[in-house]
């Protein structure tokens, strides 16, 4: 493994969801609590940031037709960074004003899978949904505190999901043709881990990479849930990981300064930055939203 490199000192309160876009050969990521979407061009070193509006930005997807779909506190929006325009597409929780949408990811048929959370009480009021390419919404389960880690196996037979405060990652059987999940089971129990499970990605070998918030580390899990590798990080709050570069052989890592004391922030001046390293394996192309 190569050294861990800090490539953008973005100072994100909660950086999240690094995604490589082959369309423009940039890595994109967000700041949840300072709602914005950001890009980094590894060829030029150019860093751009685009304010999205709203109070929070839980996740996003690149749209097949251009621009992005944003998961925010009051619904899913189409967003064009070129002009800053935002258009409401659908809201699965119009009756739950304390909830907001959080982590999500597209499957390889272009559906978007995501969870919601109570952003006021931090109680188990969140729900998990799929959004079809026609914007139809299906609810799959509830009882979520903070949803994270949505990702899919290379053969499209498994979906992974984490609830951060519960320190648990689950696996589901996934039927990509029908767009259904079933057979929820424990994939990794982090009760003895130093941190809590946050964002995840899956590599081309089918191993799950998970960022441990408050844990100073990234963990690679084998398909059977066994810990395969641990990468120690120079900051405490690791939020998400994603493969990028033309060969998808570079691991991009988002981080956060939220939750750190002033003393901790002084010791970790790059908390909230975007990092990168090479880990000797390749990732998978990121699916786009086909709606």
Domain annotation covers residue 237: yes
Domain CATH for 23: 2.120.10.30
pLDDT of residue 236: 98
The structure tokens 């150019």 sit at 46
pLDDT tens by residue, 46-105: 999 999 999 999 999 999 999 999 999 999 999 999 999 999 999 999 999 999 999 999
pLDDT tens by residue, 161-210: 999 999 999 999 999 999 999 999 999 999 999 999 999 999 999 999 99
Total domain count for the chain? 1
pLDDT tier at 29, thresholds 50, 70, 90: very high
Domain annotation covers residue 289: no
pLDDT of residue 284: 98
Q: Compute the mean pLDDT over every residue in the chain, rounded to the nearest whole number.
A: 97
31: nearest Cα among 276, 271, 254: 254
pLDDT tier at 160, thresholds 50, 70, 90: very high
102: nearest Cα among 187, 30, 178, 7: 30
* Helix then strand then coil, % of the chain, to nearest 5: 0, 55, 45
> What does the pLDDT average to over 236-258?
98
pLDDT of residue 2: 78
Domain annotation covers residue 127: yes
> What does the pLDDT average to over 204-226?
98
Query: Is-contact 129 139, C-beta < 8 A?
Result: yes
Contacts of 196 (CB under 8 A, 6+ apart): 164, 165, 167, 190, 212, 213, 214, 215
Structural domain boundaries, residue 188: 5-277
| C-alpha dihedral, 231 to 235 to 238 to 244, nearest 10° | -70
Domain annotation covers residue 288: no
Domain annotation covers residue 38: yes
**Cα–Cα separations (whole angstroms), residue 3 to 50, 76, 277:** 29, 37, 6
pLDDT of residue 271: 98
Q: What distance in Å separates the CA atoms of residue 248 and residue 283, rounded to the nearest whole number?
A: 5
Residue 229 has pLDDT above 80, yes or no: yes
On the CB side of 86, CA atoms within 13 Å amount to 20
pLDDT of residue 257: 98
pLDDT tier at 38, thresholds 50, 70, 90: very high
> What does the pLDDT average to over 254-278?
97
Domain annotation covers residue 286: no
Domain annotation covers residue 287: no
Domain annotation covers residue 124: yes
| pTM score over 0.95 | yes
pLDDT tens by residue, 118-156: 999 989 999 999 999 999 999 999 999 999 999 999 999
Query: Is-contact 5 229, C-beta < 8 A?
Result: no
Beta bridge partners of 85: 80
Q: What distance in Å separates the CA atoms of residue 200 and residue 151, rounded to the nearest whole number?
A: 7
Residue 1 has pLDDT above 70, yes or no: no
**Cα–Cα separations (whole angstroms), residue 104 to 61, 62, 260:** 8, 12, 25
DSSP state of 14: B
């Amino acid at each position: 493994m190569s050294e861990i490199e800090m490539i953008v000192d973005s100072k994100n309160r909660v950086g999240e969801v690094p995604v490589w876009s082959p369309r423009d050969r940039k890595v994109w990521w967000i700041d949840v609590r300072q709602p914005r979407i950001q890009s980094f061009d590894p060829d030029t070193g150019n860093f751009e940031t685009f304010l999205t509006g709203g109070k929070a930005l839980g996740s996003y997807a690149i749209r097949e037709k251009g621009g992005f779909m944003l998961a925010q506190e009051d619904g899913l929006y189409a967003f064009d960074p070129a002009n800053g325009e935002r258009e409401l597409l659908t809201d699965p929780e119009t009756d739950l004003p304390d909830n907001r949408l959080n982590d999500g990811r597209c499957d390889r048929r272009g559906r978007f899978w995501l969870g919601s959370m109570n952003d006021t009480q931090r109680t188990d009021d969140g729900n998990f949904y799929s959004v079809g390419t026609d914007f139809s919404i299906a609810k799959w389960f509830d009882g979520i505190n903070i949803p994270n880690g949505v990702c899919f196996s290379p053969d499209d037979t498994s979906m992974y999901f984490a609830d951060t405060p519960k320190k648990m990652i689950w696996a589901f059987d996934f039927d990509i043709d029908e767009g259904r999940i079933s057979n929820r089971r424990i994939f990794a129990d982090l009760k003895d881990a130093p941190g809590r499970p946050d964002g995840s990605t899956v590599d081309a070998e089918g191993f799950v990479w998970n960022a441990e918030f408050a844990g100073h580390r990234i963990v690679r899990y084998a398909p059977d849930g066994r810990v395969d590798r641990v990468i120690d990080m120079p900051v405490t709050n690791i939020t998400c990981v994603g493969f990028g570069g033309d060969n998808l052989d570079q691991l991009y890592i988002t981080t956060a300064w939220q939750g750190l004391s002033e003393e901790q922030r002084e010791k970790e001046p790059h908390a909230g930055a975007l990092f990168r390293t090479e880990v000797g394996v390749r990732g998978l192309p990121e699916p786009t939203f086909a709606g």
